[in-house]
Amino acid sequence: MREQDRIERARELYELAMFGGDTSALATADRELDAVEAAVSLERGKLLHVRFLDDRREDPQELVLFERAAELYHRLDDATGEADALFWIGCWHQVVRDDTATGRPHFERSYALAQTAGDQKTMSYAVRHLGFAEKEAGRFDRARALLTESVSLRRDIGFLPGVAAGLVALGYLSAETGDREAAIGHLDEAQNIAEQCGAEGVLRWIERARTHI
Protein backbone atom coordinates (compact mmCIF):
# COMPACT_ATOMS: atom_id res chain seq x y z
CA MET A 1 0.00 0.00 0.00
CA ARG A 2 1.26 3.48 -0.86
CA GLU A 3 2.14 5.84 1.99
CA GLN A 4 -0.57 8.31 0.97
CA ASP A 5 -3.14 5.51 1.06
CA ARG A 6 -1.99 4.54 4.55
CA ILE A 7 -2.36 8.12 5.77
CA GLU A 8 -5.85 8.34 4.28
CA ARG A 9 -6.74 5.02 5.91
CA ALA A 10 -5.50 6.30 9.29
CA ARG A 11 -7.65 9.42 8.81
CA GLU A 12 -10.70 7.27 8.15
CA LEU A 13 -9.97 5.15 11.20
CA TYR A 14 -9.60 8.27 13.35
CA GLU A 15 -13.06 9.40 12.26
CA LEU A 16 -14.44 5.94 12.94
CA ALA A 17 -13.04 6.11 16.47
CA MET A 18 -13.86 9.75 17.12
CA PHE A 19 -17.35 9.93 15.68
CA GLY A 20 -18.36 6.30 15.39
CA GLY A 21 -17.20 5.33 18.86
CA ASP A 22 -15.12 2.38 17.65
CA THR A 23 -11.89 2.90 19.59
CA SER A 24 -10.62 -0.50 18.44
CA ALA A 25 -9.84 1.26 15.16
CA LEU A 26 -7.05 3.20 16.85
CA ALA A 27 -4.67 0.22 16.93
CA THR A 28 -5.07 -0.31 13.20
CA ALA A 29 -4.53 3.40 12.57
CA ASP A 30 -1.33 3.25 14.61
CA ARG A 31 -0.04 0.41 12.43
CA GLU A 32 -0.78 2.32 9.25
CA LEU A 33 1.13 5.35 10.50
CA ASP A 34 3.95 3.20 11.89
CA ALA A 35 4.43 1.81 8.37
CA VAL A 36 4.60 5.32 6.93
CA GLU A 37 7.01 6.52 9.62
CA ALA A 38 9.23 3.46 9.14
CA ALA A 39 9.51 4.05 5.40
CA VAL A 40 10.17 7.78 5.78
CA SER A 41 12.78 7.19 8.51
CA LEU A 42 14.61 4.61 6.42
CA GLU A 43 14.68 6.70 3.26
CA ARG A 44 15.68 9.89 5.09
CA GLY A 45 18.51 7.99 6.77
CA LYS A 46 19.72 6.79 3.36
CA LEU A 47 19.80 10.38 2.11
CA LEU A 48 21.93 11.37 5.08
CA HIS A 49 24.28 8.47 4.34
CA VAL A 50 24.81 9.65 0.76
CA ARG A 51 25.52 13.13 2.07
CA PHE A 52 28.10 11.63 4.41
CA LEU A 53 29.78 9.84 1.52
CA ASP A 54 29.89 13.15 -0.34
CA ASP A 55 31.24 15.45 2.39
CA ARG A 56 32.40 13.01 5.14
CA ARG A 57 30.53 14.98 7.79
CA GLU A 58 28.68 12.75 10.22
CA ASP A 59 25.06 13.52 11.05
CA PRO A 60 24.02 11.72 14.27
CA GLN A 61 20.43 11.66 13.04
CA GLU A 62 21.39 9.03 10.47
CA LEU A 63 21.69 6.28 13.06
CA VAL A 64 18.62 7.53 14.94
CA LEU A 65 16.54 7.24 11.78
CA PHE A 66 17.76 3.74 10.92
CA GLU A 67 17.19 2.49 14.47
CA ARG A 68 13.68 3.96 14.51
CA ALA A 69 12.91 2.28 11.19
CA ALA A 70 14.18 -1.07 12.49
CA GLU A 71 12.10 -0.72 15.66
CA LEU A 72 8.92 0.07 13.73
CA TYR A 73 9.41 -2.64 11.12
CA HIS A 74 10.02 -5.18 13.90
CA ARG A 75 6.81 -4.04 15.61
CA LEU A 76 4.96 -4.45 12.31
CA ASP A 77 6.46 -7.92 11.78
CA ASP A 78 7.81 -6.71 8.43
CA ALA A 79 10.92 -8.84 7.88
CA THR A 80 11.81 -7.15 4.58
CA GLY A 81 11.75 -3.67 6.06
CA GLU A 82 13.54 -4.72 9.23
CA ALA A 83 16.28 -6.47 7.23
CA ASP A 84 16.83 -3.31 5.19
CA ALA A 85 16.98 -1.10 8.28
CA LEU A 86 19.35 -3.47 10.08
CA PHE A 87 21.68 -3.43 7.09
CA TRP A 88 21.85 0.36 7.25
CA ILE A 89 22.52 0.33 10.97
CA GLY A 90 25.45 -1.97 10.28
CA CYS A 91 26.57 0.24 7.42
CA TRP A 92 26.53 3.28 9.69
CA HIS A 93 28.84 1.55 12.17
CA GLN A 94 31.15 0.12 9.51
CA VAL A 95 31.35 3.07 7.12
CA VAL A 96 30.65 6.16 9.20
CA ARG A 97 32.29 5.07 12.45
CA ASP A 98 34.86 2.63 10.99
CA ASP A 99 33.62 0.03 13.49
CA THR A 100 33.11 -3.23 11.64
CA ALA A 101 32.91 -5.28 14.84
CA THR A 102 29.77 -3.44 15.92
CA GLY A 103 28.29 -3.45 12.43
CA ARG A 104 28.82 -7.14 11.69
CA PRO A 105 25.95 -8.59 13.82
CA HIS A 106 23.55 -6.23 12.11
CA PHE A 107 24.69 -7.46 8.69
CA GLU A 108 24.28 -11.07 9.79
CA ARG A 109 20.78 -10.47 11.15
CA SER A 110 19.87 -8.47 8.06
CA TYR A 111 21.01 -11.29 5.77
CA ALA A 112 19.07 -13.91 7.74
CA LEU A 113 15.85 -11.88 7.77
CA ALA A 114 16.16 -10.95 4.09
CA GLN A 115 16.77 -14.59 3.19
CA THR A 116 13.61 -15.59 5.06
CA ALA A 117 11.66 -12.89 3.22
CA GLY A 118 13.19 -13.76 -0.17
CA ASP A 119 14.66 -10.27 -0.51
CA GLN A 120 17.73 -10.88 -2.65
CA LYS A 121 18.61 -7.20 -2.97
CA THR A 122 19.02 -6.69 0.76
CA MET A 123 20.81 -10.03 0.99
CA SER A 124 23.27 -8.75 -1.62
CA TYR A 125 23.99 -5.62 0.41
CA ALA A 126 24.41 -7.47 3.70
CA VAL A 127 26.71 -10.16 2.28
CA ARG A 128 28.74 -7.51 0.43
CA HIS A 129 29.54 -5.74 3.66
CA LEU A 130 30.26 -9.03 5.41
CA GLY A 131 32.75 -9.54 2.60
CA PHE A 132 34.34 -6.20 3.44
CA ALA A 133 34.58 -7.34 7.06
CA GLU A 134 36.39 -10.51 6.00
CA LYS A 135 38.73 -8.51 3.79
CA GLU A 136 39.50 -6.17 6.68
CA ALA A 137 40.34 -9.21 8.81
CA GLY A 138 42.71 -10.56 6.15
CA ARG A 139 40.52 -13.55 5.29
CA PHE A 140 40.71 -12.97 1.56
CA ASP A 141 39.30 -16.28 0.30
CA ARG A 142 36.22 -15.85 2.46
CA ALA A 143 35.93 -12.21 1.39
CA ARG A 144 36.03 -13.23 -2.26
CA ALA A 145 33.32 -15.84 -1.74
CA LEU A 146 31.01 -13.34 -0.04
CA LEU A 147 31.61 -10.57 -2.57
CA THR A 148 31.01 -13.05 -5.39
CA GLU A 149 27.74 -14.13 -3.75
CA SER A 150 26.66 -10.49 -3.62
CA VAL A 151 27.32 -10.03 -7.34
CA SER A 152 25.47 -13.27 -8.15
CA LEU A 153 22.41 -12.19 -6.17
CA ARG A 154 22.38 -8.88 -8.00
CA ARG A 155 22.70 -10.56 -11.40
CA ASP A 156 19.74 -12.78 -10.54
CA ILE A 157 17.44 -9.80 -9.96
CA GLY A 158 18.83 -7.61 -12.74
CA PHE A 159 20.27 -4.99 -10.38
CA LEU A 160 22.89 -3.86 -12.88
CA PRO A 161 24.34 -0.81 -11.07
CA GLY A 162 24.80 -3.09 -8.06
CA VAL A 163 26.50 -5.75 -10.20
CA ALA A 164 28.94 -3.14 -11.49
CA ALA A 165 29.63 -1.90 -7.97
CA GLY A 166 30.21 -5.46 -6.80
CA LEU A 167 32.70 -6.09 -9.58
CA VAL A 168 34.63 -3.00 -8.54
CA ALA A 169 34.92 -4.46 -5.03
CA LEU A 170 36.17 -7.75 -6.51
CA GLY A 171 38.65 -5.77 -8.60
CA TYR A 172 40.13 -4.13 -5.53
CA LEU A 173 40.30 -7.48 -3.73
CA SER A 174 42.04 -9.15 -6.68
CA ALA A 175 44.57 -6.33 -6.85
CA GLU A 176 45.21 -6.52 -3.12
CA THR A 177 45.88 -10.27 -3.37
CA GLY A 178 48.28 -9.83 -6.27
CA ASP A 179 46.10 -10.90 -9.19
CA ARG A 180 46.25 -7.79 -11.37
CA GLU A 181 44.92 -9.58 -14.44
CA ALA A 182 41.75 -10.60 -12.61
CA ALA A 183 41.43 -7.11 -11.17
CA ILE A 184 41.49 -5.53 -14.62
CA GLY A 185 39.01 -8.12 -15.87
CA HIS A 186 36.57 -7.26 -13.10
CA LEU A 187 36.92 -3.54 -13.77
CA ASP A 188 36.47 -3.99 -17.51
CA GLU A 189 33.26 -5.94 -16.96
CA ALA A 190 32.09 -3.40 -14.39
CA GLN A 191 32.67 -0.58 -16.86
CA ASN A 192 30.76 -2.32 -19.61
CA ILE A 193 27.76 -2.89 -17.32
CA ALA A 194 27.88 0.60 -15.81
CA GLU A 195 27.92 2.16 -19.27
CA GLN A 196 24.94 0.04 -20.32
CA CYS A 197 22.81 1.12 -17.38
CA GLY A 198 24.06 4.71 -17.09
CA ALA A 199 25.59 4.30 -13.63
CA GLU A 200 27.76 7.42 -13.78
CA GLY A 201 28.71 7.23 -10.11
CA VAL A 202 30.02 3.69 -10.52
CA LEU A 203 31.96 4.76 -13.60
CA ARG A 204 33.76 7.29 -11.43
CA TRP A 205 34.56 4.53 -8.93
CA ILE A 206 35.98 2.42 -11.76
CA GLU A 207 38.14 5.26 -12.99
CA ARG A 208 39.47 5.77 -9.47
CA ALA A 209 40.08 2.04 -9.06
CA ARG A 210 42.15 1.85 -12.23
CA THR A 211 44.55 4.43 -10.79
CA HIS A 212 45.12 2.20 -7.74
CA ILE A 213 45.84 -1.13 -9.39
pLDDT (0 to 100) of residue 213:
87
Listed residue (71, 91, 94) closest to 81, CA to CA: 71
CA dihedral for 97, 125, 166, 162, sign (positive or negative)? negative
Quote the CA–CA distance of 181 and 167 in Å, as a whole number: 14
Residues 43 and 49 sit within 8 Å (Cβ to Cβ): no
| Below-70 pLDDT ranges, the chain | 1
Instruction: Note the pTM of the prediction, 2 decimals.
Output: 0.93
Question: What is the four-CA torsion angle of 60, 65, 70, 73, rounded to 10 degrees?
Answer: 170
Listed residue (47, 189, 104) closest to 203, CA to CA: 189
Residues 213 and 183 sit within 8 Å (Cβ to Cβ): yes
Q: What is the pLDDT of residues 1-15, one digit of tens each?
A: 688 899 899 899 888
pLDDT (0 to 100) of residue 2:
82
pLDDT (0 to 100) of residue 3:
82
Residues 16 and 22 sit within 8 Å (Cβ to Cβ): yes
